């Protein structure tokens, strides 16, 4: 009898072990396999929250099949104590394993509300926007010009939310003076900046910041980024260019930046100016004249007068030979690369195709061709005036 009992007990134990092993295999597969989420969602983790609260919220959202299994998996992976506060994008069909990784890896929030301080050539704006997790696109909540408009309630409200993200976005072609002026107006930053960085030394880009970030440190980040971009482009430059230093290439890049907003034309515009330098022609470019008038402090806001085209300033390339002494703006990476890798052309002239700058330019090798292009442009101007 005891032998039968022992045999039955052993059989039961073996079955139990197999069942337990089967449950473990099922649980692991359930934890690692594609989840039930039909479309992406934005999950907010509040400060002081825990995996129990999060798992129940995810189960209610239909993102996981089992709140308990999510907690067990996170605990087994040793990530229970690594939960981060913030707003996180959970993609469609994310597994429990992926979700745990998303909410514990740290770094900036990947969705939710974002405030973007845009510094553009003509004006500065503050945009409050929110990521739509389904489309992956930002939806604008509010936008205003801090110098002219009343601060909207939406901006004040999101500033009180702990997971709001902030970034400063610089447009290509803005001047250092413009950047400093606008940074000093951003109310979440600290540390007044009085000295204007050298023109061309700041990289146009989007920079993540946090409330209390120091303006001087942000400018240092911008300068460091521009140094890296210029060094890389200089190392990969074409042979035989008419520049004696990276600094001269930066001057050319700034002119290219101000002469065209059309990305695919930068290398053609670069070829025109390089050809002019090599042939001993003056650059004769209006943006340098404007910089000689404004010194980069704002937009001219009117046409250039004939007297200004003849005026002797260090930047007036209708008067001076070669390059001006400094850049006339902060060029982006594309213009820097174009300055150091111009297209192989014989072009020495160009003029706008239409009255819309986005339509680009007509390029010419001879003065006769250029005069024809100019005449076509003047005809468009005359039509508009009539």
∠ CA 243-248-253 to the nearest 5 degrees?
105
Q: What are phi and psi of 286, to 5 degrees?
A: -60, -40
pLDDT at 233: 97
Alpha helices in the chain (DSSP H): 2-32, 51-61, 67-76, 96-104, 153-159, 176-183, 215-235, 246-259, 266-278, 286-294, 306-310, 333-340, 367-385
Rounded distance between C-alpha atoms, residue 186 and residue 117, angstroms: 8
pLDDT at 5: 55
Burial class (CB in 10 A: 0-12, 13-18, 19+), 103: buried
pLDDT at residue 26 is higher than 70: no
Structure tokens at 350: 């160009």
pLDDT at residue 7 is higher than 70: no
Q: Average of pLDDT values for 269-282?
A: 95
pLDDT at residue 104 is higher than 60: yes
pLDDT at residue 203 is higher than 70: yes
More confident residue, 130 or 28: 130
Task: Specify the 3-state DSSP secondary structure of 273.
Answer: helix
pLDDT at residue 346 is higher than 60: yes
Q: Average of pLDDT values for 159-182?
A: 92
Predicted TM-score of the model (pTM): 0.79
Rounded distance between C-alpha atoms, residue 364 and residue 355, angstroms: 18
pLDDT at residue 218 is higher than 90: yes
pLDDT at 254: 97
- Residue pair 282/255 in contact (Cβ under 8 Å)? The answer is no
Residues pairing with 363 in the sheet: 350
- Position 229 confidence tier, pLDDT thresholds 50, 70, 90: very high
- Position 88 confidence tier, pLDDT thresholds 50, 70, 90: confident
pLDDT at residue 255 is higher than 70: yes
Q: Average of pLDDT values for 208-220?
A: 94
pLDDT at 265: 93
Q: Give the Cβ contact number of residue 329 at 10 Å.
A: 26
Least confident range of 38-47, 331-340, 365-374: 38-47
Which strands, in side-by-side order, build the sheet including 137-144?
Answer: 137-144, 124-132, 113-119, 165-170, 206-209
């Amino acid at each position: 009898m005891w032998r039968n009992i022992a045999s039955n007990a052993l059989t039961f134990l073996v079955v139990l072990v197999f069942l337990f092993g089967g449950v473990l295999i099922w649980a692991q597969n359930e934890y690692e396999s594609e989840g039930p989420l039909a479309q992406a969602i934005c999950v907010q983790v509040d400060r002081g929250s825990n995996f129990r609260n999060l798992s129940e919220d995810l189960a209610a959202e239909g993102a996981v099949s089992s709140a308990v299994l999510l907690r067990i998996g996170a605990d087994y992976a040793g990530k229970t104590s690594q939960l981060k506060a913030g707003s996180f994008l959970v993609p469609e069909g994310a597994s429990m394993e992926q979700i745990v990784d998303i909410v514990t890896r740290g770094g900036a929030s990947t969705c939710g509300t974002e405030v973007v301080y845009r510094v553009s050539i003509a004006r500065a704006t503050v945009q409050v926007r929110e990521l739509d997790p389904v489309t992956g696109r930002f939806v604008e909540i509010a936008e205003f010009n801090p110098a002219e408009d009343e601060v909207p309630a939406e901006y004040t409200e999101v500033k009180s939310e702990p997971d709001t993200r902030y970034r400063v976005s610089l447009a290509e072609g803005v001047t250092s003076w413009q950047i400093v002026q606008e940074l000093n107006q951003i109310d979440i930053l600290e540390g007044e900046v009085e000295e204007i960085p050298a023109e061309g030394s700041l990289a146009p880009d989007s920079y993540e910041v946090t409330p209390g970030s120091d303006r001087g440190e942000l400018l240092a980040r911008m300068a460091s980024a521009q140094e890296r971009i210029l060094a890389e482009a200089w190392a990969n430059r074409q042979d035989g260019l008419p520049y004696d230093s990276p600094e001269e290439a930066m001057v050319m890049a700034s002119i290219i930046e101000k002469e065209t907003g059309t990305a695919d034309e930068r290398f053609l515009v670069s070829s025109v100016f390089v050809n002019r330098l090599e042939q001993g022609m003056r650059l004769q470019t209006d943006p340098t004249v404007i910089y000689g008038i404004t010194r980069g402090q704002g937009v001219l806001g009117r046409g250039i007068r004939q007297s200004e085209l003849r005026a002797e300033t260090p930047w007036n390339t209708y008067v001076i030979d070669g390059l001006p002494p400094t850049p006339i703006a902060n060029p982006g990476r594309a213009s820097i690369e174009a300055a150091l890798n111009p297209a192989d052309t014989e072009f020495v002239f160009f003029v706008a195709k239409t009255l819309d700058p986005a339509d680009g330019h007509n390029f010419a090798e001879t003065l006769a061709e250029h005069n024809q292009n100019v005449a076509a442009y003047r005809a468009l101007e005359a039509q508009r005036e009539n």
